[in-house]
Structures are given as C-alpha cells and as structure tokens.
Amino acid sequence: MDLKRLFSEFLTETQISDSSEDLENYGKDWTKHFTPNASLVLFPKTTEDVQKIVVCCQKNKIAVIPSGGRTGLSAGATATQKEVILSLEKMNKIQELNPIDQTLRCQAGAVLENIQNHALENGYYYPVDFAARGSCQIGGTLATNAGGIKVIRYGLTRNWVAGMTVVTGTGEVLNINNGLVKNATGYDLRHLFIGSEGTLGVITEVLLKLTTPPQDLQVMLFSTTTLEAIMNVYKAFRDELVLTSFESFTDVCLNFVESQGRVSSPLQEKAPYYLLIEFENTSGQLDKAMEVFERCLEKEWVTDGVISQSDQQAKDLWALREDITEATSVKQPYKNDISVNIHKVPEFLSLMTQIIKEKHPSFQVAWFGHIGDGNLHVNILKPEDLTSDEFISKCKEVDVEMFSMIKKLGGSVSAEHGVGLVKKNYLDHTRSAAEIEYMKHIKQVFDPNGVLNPGKLLP
Ligand code: MLT
Ligand code: ZN
C-alpha cells in the first residue's frame, strides 16, 4: 500500500515524513534496547486531522502509534513493526487559562515545562513535575499517568485532569467532563484514557486543573547509613511537616553525578544513602524541620545534613537527584521502576541486594527514587566486559526474580514508567487474570480493529 499517497489525501506534504532521520527519531523513546522500524511519521495539526488519520488507519488496518515527547522508559511509544507514527508535536498550543475555574486548556503536544511556566506567569501552578519536563508532552503524561517528584504532596497526573478531548480507536471524538468539578453521571471515562498508553484513543486536548504556587520551598539533603533509618527519617518528617518531596539515592548515583563536574554534595562525609526532602516554609515549618533533623541526628538515623540557603543552592541540591538519569546513561543502564507499600521498601531493597549479590555479583546497581511513594528506580549498570546483548539477557534473568518477589510483596512491576513493550509479559504479576481480561474487553470496545498502539501494554 502506498501509505504516503493514502495520507496525502487529507494531510499536506509537510505533515508527512518518511525521511530516514525522522523514522529513526520518532520510532524510539528513551528505552534504548529497541530498534526503530517505522513506516511513516504523520504530524496532525487539529483534532480533525487526528480523527481522519485514525479513521483511515482503521479502514485500512494500519497500525498507528500515538507519539508525544518520547521520553518514556518502557517502549510505550516505539515503532518496531512498520507502524505509522502519529506525532502530536505540531499540536502544542496553550489555549486558555481560566482563573475562576483554575484550569488551563492546551493541545496534547504542549511541553510540560511550557505549561508549568505559563501557569506560574499567571500566578498559578501545575504541580506534576519530573526531570523530563523540558521534552515530555502533556498528552504523553496523561497516557502514562505520569508521577515524578511531587507525588507525595500533589498526587499523580490523574488528579489534575479536569477534562480532555480524545479520538478513540473507532474514530469517535469524545469531549470528556468539560472541566466540571462535580459530575455524578456514571462512568468517568477520563480515568480509562489516563494511563492507557495510547491503546484506547489519542488524547488531542487537555483541560488541566491548577493550584496556587508553593511558597518559599526549602530543600534539605541528608546522609544516612541504613535502610531502616531511611524509613525512620521518612516517618519523623512526614508526621510533622507537609512534604512536597521525599527522594533518595545511593552513593553510586552521587558518584556518577559528581563525576560530571556540574554539582557536588556539600556534605562532609560520604555515606551509602542520601535523602532529599522538600517542603514549603509556611506556618513555622522550617523550625519544625530543624527540630526533626536534630532528633534524627541524636538517634543516628542521619549522619549529616544541609539546608538550602538560596534558590541556587536548592537547585543544586535537586540536581544531585535529577541528574542521575543522565549521569548514569554512560553505563547503558537496564532500567526498572517498581513500587511497593512504603513500609516494604527496606524489605524489597535487601531482598534485591541479595539476589544481585548471589546471582550477578559483577553487577553494579544505581538505586534511586521516590521513597515517599514506595517507588524505586533500579538501574543495573552494564559491566565493561559484557556485550549489550549479553547484558540485557542477564538483566532479563534478574527481572524474572525481581518481579516474582514484587508479586509476593504485593507491589507493582511499574510504578510510573508504564508497561509498553517492556513490562507487558509481567503484567500478570501485578494485575489479576480477571483484571487483564476486563482490560482486553475495554480495548475491544474502544479499538475493535486493534490499530492503536498494538502489542503494547496488554500481553
Ligand atoms: C526519575 O525519577 O528520575 C525518572 O523516573 C527517570 C528515571 O527513572 O531515570
Ligand atoms: Zn521517577
């Protein structure tokens, strides 16, 4: 089939690309071990364009992949089977901020950081935040129900969606919820599309909720020596303060970040674990934080600590955590992203350490994550003496053991990165057979011909 000709019936020349560079770039996300193999990249400009593309794909049984900023880490937006890519990149307008409703309407291709800045410039705040903010698109953050570094205070993307426009796999355009705060009229379809990884519909417009910006954010960095101490520190601070973040990382991560030469830890002593906490300095929270810190020192839960003295220092402390992904990328990490109930984090970590020590002693692991959400990023670093293929196949052996342990602990094989191609064979470790069956029925309803992101998410 001459795909280019087919789509040029309703798209202009500049909205269609088959250049090898575009096929390569748009065919992959930040998951490194999949080879892109797309057939065409389409750039719709309106919901109507998207609708025409989906209808055409449905009629001609063409697999189509909704594509945002491609910062995902589970191959949810990769094209490996000659699929057509539907990039939302040209649908990037921030349309309207409504100060009474405290909502912001934008197209799905708007970049998260632009949305955050636009909200701030108008005295409001969009609180979902993570390191890929400069490249990820809002539609993708809905499709993956993105989490990040402020979930402990503001929750996941799901909490911030007041409405959306979606083109379903059947080509129907749904305008869902219209920004209503209260709407007790049955199934809330927003929540089906959020986290569906482009398998049910293409999100084309989003109505986001906004809030008021946090005041006088303070950042503290601590060093600590045991996993149990991390939990004690977490409880001590969480009981007395309203935290906006509670993050952790290991010395391995810190060494990688420091080796980039951009930022370094201001703490005197090295330690196996580091904690970064953030809170607003309102209602005497700073004094309370200092008191809790003193108590943690006395009990030897922390060995050292600093508090940011300026916005720049706060940014630098954050960089120690946020630069980990980039700093460790030289080691081609095999990435995992799991969650357990918060109190089970130490148990998970010590079981995992045991597995690695016994079965793969040459592996170095960079742990970091959102401890306050029970979410850990397990990054196995590639040893020099293994080829990429050897390394990946050994990591897949680790996956088998890790995911069966996660199942026993009642956790999730993907906390925030999503399922995509990477986790779909382990979906049953977190979801029951009945749940997966219902999901397949739902897929059938919205995309009966299976043209939207086929092969992703569902086994
Ligand atoms: C993070 O928390 O920094 C992100 O989830 C990215 C990553 O896991 O590398
Ligand atoms: Zn994360």
Domain-wise residue ranges, the chain: 3-87, 94-209, 217-325, 332-429
Q: Which ligand is nearest to the CA of 256?
A: 1
Residue 258's H or E segment, with its range, is: helix 251-259
149 CA from centroid of ligand 2 (Å): 7
458, 459, 451, 418: which is closest to 65 by C-alpha? Answer: 451
Round to whole Å and give the CA distance between 170 and 43: 20
Is 217-325 a domain of CATH 3.30.70.2190? Answer: yes
- In CATH, what class is 332-429? alpha beta
Run means of pLDDT, 10 residues per run, the chain, 459 residues? 96 98 97 94 98 98 98 97 98 98 98 98 98 98 98 98 98 98 98 98 98 97 96 97 97 98 95 98 95 98 97 97 97 96 95 94 96 96 96 96 97 98 97 98 98 98
Nearest residue by C-alpha to atom 9 in ligand 1: 325
Tell me which amino acid residue 9 is: E
Predicted TM-score of the model (pTM) = 0.97
Give, for ligand 1, the residue of 368, 378, 381 to mutate: max count of ligand atoms closer than 8 Å to Cβ: 368
Q: With a 6 A CB cut-off, is 131 part of the ligand 1 pocket?
A: yes
Give, for ligand 1, the residue of 32, 70, 71, 130 to mutate: max count of ligand atoms closer than 8 Å to Cβ: 130
pLDDT value of position 285 = 95
Contacts of 343 (CB under 8 A, 6+ apart): 231
178 CA from centroid of ligand 2 (Å): 30
Ligand 1 atom closest to 368 (CA)? 2
Which pair of tokens denotes residue 238? 């969480």
Round to whole Å and give the CA distance between 50 and 158: 23
94-209 shares its CATH topology with 332-429: no
126, 200, 116, 197: which is closest to 162 by C-alpha? Answer: 126
Q: Which ligand is nearest to the CA of 379?
A: 1
Ligand 1 atom closest to 416 (CA)? 5
- Residue 350 burial (C-beta neighbours within 10 Å; 0-12, 13-18, 19+): exposed
Round to whole Å and give the CA distance between 244 and 127: 10
pLDDT value of position 269 = 85
Q: With a 6 A CB cut-off, is 321 part of the ligand 1 pocket?
A: no
- Identify the CATH number of the domain defined by range 3-87: 3.30.43.10
Q: With a 6 A CB cut-off, is 58 part of the ligand 1 pocket?
A: no
Residue 377's DSSP bridge partners are 337, 368
196 CA from centroid of ligand 2 (Å): 19
- For residue 233, give the 3-state DSSP assignment: helix
Contacts of 55 (CB under 8 A, 6+ apart): 171
Residue 107's DSSP bridge partners are 205
123 CA from centroid of ligand 2 (Å): 27
Give, for ligand 1, the residue of 30, 31, 71, 73 to mutate: max count of ligand atoms closer than 8 Å to Cβ: 73
Backbone angles phi, psi at 362, to 5 degrees: -85, -5
Q: Which ligand is nearest to the CA of 131?
A: 1
Q: With a 6 A CB cut-off, is 375 part of the ligand 1 pocket?
A: no
Which pair of tokens denotes residue 385? 């003496």
152 CA from centroid of ligand 1 (Å): 15
Round to whole Å and give the CA distance between 403 and 423: 10
Ligand 1 atom closest to 333 (CA)? 9
35 CA from centroid of ligand 2 (Å): 24
Reported residue count of the chain is 459
Ligand 1 atom closest to 337 (CA)? 8
295 CA from centroid of ligand 2 (Å): 29
Sign of torsion over alpha carbons 457, 389, 26, 41:
negative
Q: Which ligand is nearest to the CA of 318?
A: 1
131 CA from centroid of ligand 1 (Å): 7
Nearest residue by C-alpha to atom 6 in ligand 1: 325
Q: With a 6 A CB cut-off, is 325 part of the ligand 1 pocket?
A: yes
Q: With a 6 A CB cut-off, is 199 part of the ligand 1 pocket?
A: no
Q: With a 6 A CB cut-off, is 377 part of the ligand 1 pocket?
A: yes
Round to whole Å and give the CA distance between 451 and 58: 6
Is 94-209 a domain of CATH 3.40.50.150? Answer: no
